[in-house]
C-alpha cells in the first residue's frame, strides 16, 4: 500500500548528545497517524535512537549499508548488523554516496539485493545533475538508475521498496524543484515501474521527493498527486522544522 512518509536523513550530523536532545523533544510531539515518520541518524547513534523510540511510532533507518553480510570490509556495516539492532530500513543510493563514495548502479543493485534478502525496507534514491536536466536527459537518466539499481528485484520485493527522487542540484542548495518538476518526474517514475512490473505495483509504491524541502515549501510539493512525502536533509535536524514538514500534507 502506498504510504505517506517523511524521512529525516541526518547525514553526518548530530553526535550522541544532540541525538538524545532531538529524541527527547520528538517524543513530546503528537504525530499524525497517517504519516510514517522516519529518522536516519549516523550508524553510531542507531542503537540509542532505536531503543529510545521503542514505544514511539517512529522508524529508525540507516543511511547506508554494505552489500556483503560480513567479511573483510574495514569500516563497513552490514544488513545483518543493522537487523541485530532492530533497524529494518535503509537508505541506498543517496547521491552523496554515488558521487563521493563511488557507488555505481551495479554496487547499488547488490546493496538492494542484500537488503531485500535480509527482509529490510529500502529507500532507493535517484536523481539527476543539473547538466543532465539542462540537456533534457533527466527522464532517461532516472529510468536507467531504476533499471540498473532496482529492476533486478522480483515484483514481490516492491512492497519493501520506496523510491526517493532527489535532484542533485536541489540537495542542500536551497533550490527546490518546482512542484510541477517534482510531479513530472514522480509520474515518470511510476510509469517506468508500471511498464516494467504492473500498474498496481507502480500505484502502490511510495515515491518521496528530496532536495531542500523546508517548512515553507513542503505542502505544495506533498500536494502533488504522485508525491507521497519527502526525504529531508537540513530541515530534519531540528524537531520544530521537521515536525512542520511531517504535518505538511
Ligand atoms: P536537503 O537534503 O533537504 O538538505 O537538501 C536532502 C537529502 O539529501 O536527502
Q: Is the pLDDT of residue 176 over 90?
A: no
* Distance set, CA 156 to CA 65, 151, 197 (Å): 22, 12, 10
Centre of ligand 1 from the C-alpha of residue 71, in Å: 31
- Minimal-distance CA residue to ligand 1 atom 9: 233
Cell of 221: 510539493
* Mean predicted lDDT score pLDDT of the chain: 97
Cα 200 from chain centre: 21
Distances (CA, A) of 27 to 21, 24, 54, 58: 10, 5, 11, 9
Residue 1 has pLDDT above 90, yes or no: no
Query: Is the Cβ–Cβ distance between 94 and 64 less than 8 Å?
Result: yes
Is the pLDDT at 172 greater than 90, yes or no?
A: no
Above pLDDT 90, what percent of the chain?
Answer: 97
H-type alpha helices, 55-137: 79-85, 95-100, 105-117, 130-134
Q: Which protein residues touch ligand 1 with a CB less than 6 Å away?
A: 9, 166, 171-172, 210-213, 231-235
pLDDT digits (tens, 9 = 90+) for 201-223: 999 999 999 999 999 999 999 99
| Model confidence band, residue 234 (pLDDT cutoffs 50, 70, 90) | very high
Could you tell me the end-to-end alpha-carbon distance of the chain, in angstroms, rounded to an integer? Answer: 17
Q: If you average pLDDT over residues 165-173, what whole number do you get?
A: 92
So what's the pLDDT on residue 87?
A: 98
Could you tell which of 91, 125, 231 is best to mutate to test the pocket of ligand 1, judged by most ligand atoms within 8 Å of the CB? 231
Give the pLDDT confidence score for residue 249 in this predicted structure.
97
CA separation for the pair 214, 241 (Å, rounded) = 7
The rounded Å distance from CA 210 to ligand 1 centre is: 6
Amino acid at each position: 500500500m502506498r504510504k505517506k512518509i517523511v524521512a529525516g536523513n541526518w547525514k553526518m550530523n548530530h553526535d550522541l548528545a544532540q541525538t538524545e536532545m532531538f529524541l527527547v523533544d520528538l517524543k513530546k510531539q503528537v504525530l499524525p497517524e497517517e504519516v510514517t515518520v522516519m529518522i536516519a541518524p549516523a550508524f553510531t547513534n542507531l542503537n540509542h535512537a532505536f531503543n529510545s523510540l521503542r514505544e514511539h511510532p517512529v522508524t529508525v533507518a540507516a543511511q547506508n549499508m554494505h552489500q556483503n553480510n560480513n567479511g573483510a570490509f574495514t569500516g563497513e556495516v552490514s544488513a545483518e548488523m543493522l537487523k541485530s539492532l532492530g533497524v529494518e530500513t535503509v537508505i541506498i543510493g543517496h547521491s552523496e554516496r554515488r558521487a563521493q563514495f563511488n557507488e555505481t548502479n551495479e554496487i547499488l543493485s547488490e546493496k538492494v539485493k542484500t537488503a531485500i534478502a535480509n527482509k529490510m525496507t529500502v529507500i532507493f534514491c535517484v536523481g539527476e545533475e543539473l547538466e543532465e536536466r539542462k540537456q533534457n536527459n533527466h527522464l532517461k537518466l532516472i529510468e536507467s538508475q531504476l533499471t540498473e539499481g532496482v529492476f533486478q528485484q522480483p515484483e514481490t520485493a516492491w512492497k519493501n521498496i520506496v523510491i526517493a527522487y532527489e535532484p542533485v542540484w536541489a540537495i542542500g542548495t536551497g533550490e527546490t524543484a518546482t512542484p510541477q518538476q517534482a510531479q513530472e518526474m514522480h509520474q515518470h517514475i511510476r510509469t517506468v515501474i508500471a511498464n516494467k512490473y504492473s500498474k498496481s505495483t507502480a500505484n502502490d509504491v511510495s515515491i518521496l521527493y528530496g532536495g531542500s524541502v523546508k517548512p515553507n515549501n513542503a505542502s505544495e510539493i506533498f500536494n502533488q498527486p504522485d508525491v507521497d512525502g519527502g526525504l529531508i536533509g537540513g530541515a530534519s535536524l531540528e524537531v520544530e522544522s521537521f515536525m512542520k514538514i511531517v504535518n505538511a500534507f
